[in-house]
Amino acid sequence: MDIEKLIIIGSGPSGYTAAIYAARATLSPLLFEGVAAGGQLMLTTEVENYPGFPEGIQGPELMPLFKKQAQRFGTRIVSDDVVSVDFSARPFTVKSGDREVKAESVIISTGAQAKWLGLESEAKYQGFGVSACATCDGFFYRGKEVIVVGGGNTAVEEALFLTNFASKVTVVHRRDEFRAERILQDRLFANPKVEVIWDSAIDEILGETHPTGAVNVTGARLKNVKTGETREVAADGVFIAIGHAPSSELFAGQLETKAGGYLVVKPGTAATAIEGVWAAGDVTDDVYRQAVTAAGMGCMAALEAVRFLAEQDHKAEGHPIAHKEAEKIGAW
Amino acid sequence: MSELTLTSANFDQSVNAGGKPVLVDFWAPWCGPCKVMGPIIEQLAGEMTDVTMAKLNVDEHPQMAQRYNVLSIPTFIVFKGGQPVDQFSGTMTKDAFKARLQKHL
């Protein structure tokens, strides 16, 4: 079996940026795109804070550009999801649904996925009024009333997007202020369709079952987290936007995680504790979680991988001054 | 075999035709996860000859989405003899999708 020089797992801004840099260093990386190809930006609409697009760009338009740029320099892309990895010995093993690949180095850019509340009623009505993707499902709520749960950028953006369809958007947030960017908050507060209910969490999602067995959401019971008081709010849809959790389960037991499940990297680098394995983007970033920071971390990981592989080559050739040579090769 | 493109005009006839189960992908061009699942279903249309794969654009035919209580896309409905026997939504791997379909064969 051939041994790949570099495998990149994930296809958001961090994975593709790593691929662009690694491909330009002629490593011909193999990138596993996964079923959530393109990452979280594929579920957004207008991206207004990615530099270089002064008029903004649609998330689903931006990500194919990343992909194209990565492919231009020789990145090979497979669409499979990685199902397991073995980092216990190098070359490392990466398995997907239909293949097993060995690699000298791996960059993990698996990103993060939307969090759910974890209520039974939420699971019951998922796809029937409960959604985590306003851009996918907003269309079905024309002239209807919806609830958005959360207080970060995603929640406020989803609420604003839903005002294009819904007659009323109620934002439910467990604190008394939003974490979202000021500009988004200002837009939200100025929108006459929006009502905000502070200090409240979803206690239960309410719905009905028709004689045919079909179910649909009729509203939610909210609980004030300060007073304990409950109230019911009628709605046809409930959009969950309470943040994201890192997609790091694949590496459990092999790589160290910190609170929230984020992969640990050495400060100021993208290196994990295993030599030859890097992590970049939302899977490791519990602070910034932006497309542009993910891209930056992907670049760091690729440059570190390029240097590492050059050092390995020199060691293999028995050069005594391998490190100095590698430094010359290094791109920074 | 390639996928059938359904409309509100040919829907009932198509999900009723032949003895094979019919998988209908309710999708729209502006939906990111639909773009992920589209190629997977296209591939499976070639591989699984005992299921008919079909797609319906909900943007063009919202009344069909309404009829089947589709409130999220992509939603997939498996029809047998014209009757829906399974309905699920969201992205999944090709293997998971295939396994879900095979339950109905």
Tell whether A213 and A260 lie within a shared domain: no
Q: What is the per-residue pLDDT for A4? A: 98
Tell whether A182 and A232 lie within a shared domain: yes
Tell whether A50 and A67 lie within a shared domain: yes
Tell whether A174 and A223 lie within a shared domain: yes
- The ipTM, to two decimals, is 0.82
- The domain that contains A98 carries what CATH number? 3.50.50.60
* pLDDT classification of A320: cutoffs 50, 70, 90: low
Tens digit of pLDDT for each residue in A22-67? Answer: 999 999 999 999 888 889 888 888 899 999 999 999 888 999 999 9
Tens digit of pLDDT for each residue in A184-195? Answer: 999 999 999 999
Residue of chain A nearest B96, judged by CA positions: A97
Q: What is the per-residue pLDDT for A175? A: 97
Q: Do A131 and B72 touch (CB under 8 A)?
A: yes
Tell whether A65 and A154 lie within a shared domain: no
Average pLDDT over residues A326-332: 52
Average pLDDT over residues A124-142: 92
Give pTM, 2 decimals: 0.83
Q: What is the 3-state secondary structure (H, E, C) of chain B?
A: CCCEEECCCCHHHHHHCCCCCEEEEEECCCCHHHHHHHHHHHHHHHHCCCCEEEEEECCCCHHHHHHCCCCCCCEEEEEECCEEEEEEECCCCHHHHHHHHHCCC
d(CA B73, CA A300): 36
Whether the CB-CB separation of A281 and A298 falls below 8 Å is answered with: yes
Per annotation, catalytic residue among B34, B40, B54, B77: B34
Whether the CB-CB separation of A127 and A205 falls below 8 Å is answered with: no
The amino acid at residue A29 is P
Tell whether A305 and A260 lie within a shared domain: yes
Q: What is the per-residue pLDDT for A323? A: 53
Is the pLDDT score of A127 beyond 80?
yes
Tell whether A232 and A257 lie within a shared domain: no
Which member of A81, A127, A237 has the closest CB to residue B89?
A127
Q: Do B92 and A140 touch (CB under 8 A)?
A: no
Domain ranges of chain B: 4-102
Q: Which residues of A touch B32 (CB under 8 A)?
A: 38, 42-43, 59-60, 133, 135-136
Tell whether A9 and A87 lie within a shared domain: yes
> What CATH number is given for B4-102 in this structure?
3.40.30.10
Residue B18's nearest CA partner among B43, B45, B47, B53 is B53
Show the domain range for A200.
120-240
Q: What is the per-residue pLDDT for A332? A: 55
Identify the domain boundary among A240, A266, A282. Answer: A240
Number of domains into which chain A is organized? 2
Which member of B32, B59, B75 has the closest CB to residue A127?
B75
Rounded to the nearest angstrom, the minimum Cα separation between B14 and chain A is: 22
d(CA A196, CA A99): 49
Whether the CB-CB separation of A172 and A200 falls below 8 Å is answered with: yes
Tokens of A68: 């194209």
Helices (H), A125-262: 134-137, 153-162, 182-190
Identify the domain boundary among A240, A270, A303. Answer: A240
Tell whether A268 and A315 lie within a shared domain: yes
Tell whether A92 and A200 lie within a shared domain: no
Residues from B in contact with A at Cβ < 8 Å: 28, 30-36, 39-40, 58-59, 65, 69-75, 87-95
Whether the CB-CB separation of A119 and A202 falls below 8 Å is answered with: yes
